[in-house]
A = this chain, B = another copy of it.
Amino acid sequence: MPVGTQGTVKAVSPLELHDLGAQIILGNTYHLHVRPGEKVISRQGGLHKFMGWQRPILTDSGGFQVFSLARLRKVTEEGVHFQNHLDGTPTLISPERSMEIQRDLGSDIVMAFDECPPHPCSYEEASRSLELTLRWAARSKAWWEREANEDRPLVFGIVQGSSYAALRERSVSGLMEIGFDGYAIGGVSVGEPESEMMRAVESAEAFLPLDCARYAMGLGTPPQMIEMIARGVDMFDCVLPTRIARNGTAFTRHCCLSLKNAAFAEDPGPIEEGCECYSCQNFSRSYLRHLIKAEEILGLRLVTLHNLHFYLKLLRTARNSILEGRFSEFRREFVSNYRPNERTSIAS
């Protein structure tokens, strides 16, 4: 899912997203609540109509941003009291408020409200936080049952539990008792080493039902996604392809290219030979480097288009290789040809 934080996938139009083959995008509940406000969007006919996007939208719960962006945060049983990062308005987001906001946005997949503990986090703290998240998950689900809305969106629960396998298992079983339409793995890619992140996913996924979508939140680099798919994950959202594009960094199947590099000043080739995206079909690395050095908007637009094309195509290819029974081969080949690069760290 390309990430549309503030009601737009950064630098990209809905028509371009459609042509890229994006099937679903993510909207950020916290950001849209703060600006322009879910009531404004609701009165404009909902987020789909507001932003001109007809396909599905998943909204996060707001929890992650409340814990990463908001100020003067105070967590109580009821919910989280905070002052927003824009104008400091004192706000309470509770499970019920999060559901109301996501309902007003007109989301197709809503996320239960969760607490996101920081990394590192003690076992005791992770355990306390996890139990709170489970109680909030039950209240999130109950809110939709009270609404008794026939057209209600899918509701996903979020697995927490930090790096502790026992807590991840406890989280999954608690969520499954409540019963959700799909399950997300949260609290990953929050600063922990990659091996720890993989173990957190593994210790959750073993207990997740096979017939529900599994969604790893806020991930990842190309090989991380392929490794997660190998572990049974179905869905991802990540700011990486759009964010690093705005810094002039492009994905290829081998590595990341920083297009600012002087080596590309007179390179007549595309970002990636054989790529079908608009940028690669029409523009040289030389031109893209010039646009990025000159801080031209078209430069970051073109690299964003390429990176989204790359991500969406990578996931389509992975899906097809599963359907055709040759995923292991695809995984081995892709991961062994890909050279990780320091520039591709994620910070959401």
Which residues of A approach B to under 8 Å, CB–CB?
6-8, 10-15, 35-36, 40, 43-45, 50-52, 265-266, 268, 278, 282-284, 286-287, 289-291, 293-294, 296-302
CA distance A296 to B32 in the complex (A): 13
Q: Given the interface contacts A266-B40, A282-B52, A290-B35, does A296 sit within 8 Å of B13 by beta carbon? A: no
Known: A52-B283, A296-B8, A298-B13. A265 touches B40 (CB 8 A): yes
B286 touches A297 (CB 8 A): no
Instruction: For residue A39, give the distance in angstroms from its CB to the closest CB of chain B.
Output: 9
Whether B40 pairs with A7 at a CB distance below 8 angstroms is: no
Other-chain residue from B40, B266, B283, B289 in contact with A286 (beta carbon distance below 8 A): B40
B44 touches A287 (CB 8 A): yes
Q: Report which of B10, B14, B35, B284 forms a contact with A293, defined as CB distance below 8 A.
A: B35
Given contacts A14-B282, A286-B40, A286-B50, contact A7 B291 (CB under 8 A): yes
- What's the minimum C-beta distance from A310 to chain B, rounded to whole angstroms? 18
The CA of A301 and the CA of B297, in the complex, are separated in Å by 9
A287/B50 contact (C-beta < 8 A), A265-B40, A268-B44, A297-B297 known? yes
Q: Are A10 and B52 in contact (CB under 8 A)?
A: no
A9 CB, min distance to chain B CBs, angstroms:
8
Contact A291 B50 (CB under 8 A): no
Nearest CB on B from A119, distance (A): 29
Contact among B40, B278, B284, B300 for A15, CB-based, below 8 A: B278
With A282-B52, A283-B52 known to touch, is A36 a contact of B300 (CB < 8 Å)? no
> Do A44 and B284 have beta carbons less than 8 Å apart?
yes
Residue from the set A40, A293, A299 with the largest chain B CB neighbour count within 10 Å? A40
3 shortest interchain CB distances as A-B pairs: A11-B297, A8-B298, A36-B290
| Interface contact B265-A11, CB-CB below 8 Å | no
A275 to chain B, nearest CB (A): 15
- Sampled A-B contacts (18; CB under 8 Å): A6-B294, A7-B294, A7-B296, A10-B297, A10-B298, A11-B297, A13-B278, A13-B298, A14-B282, A15-B278, A35-B290, A36-B286, A36-B289, A40-B266, A43-B266, A45-B268, A50-B287, A52-B282
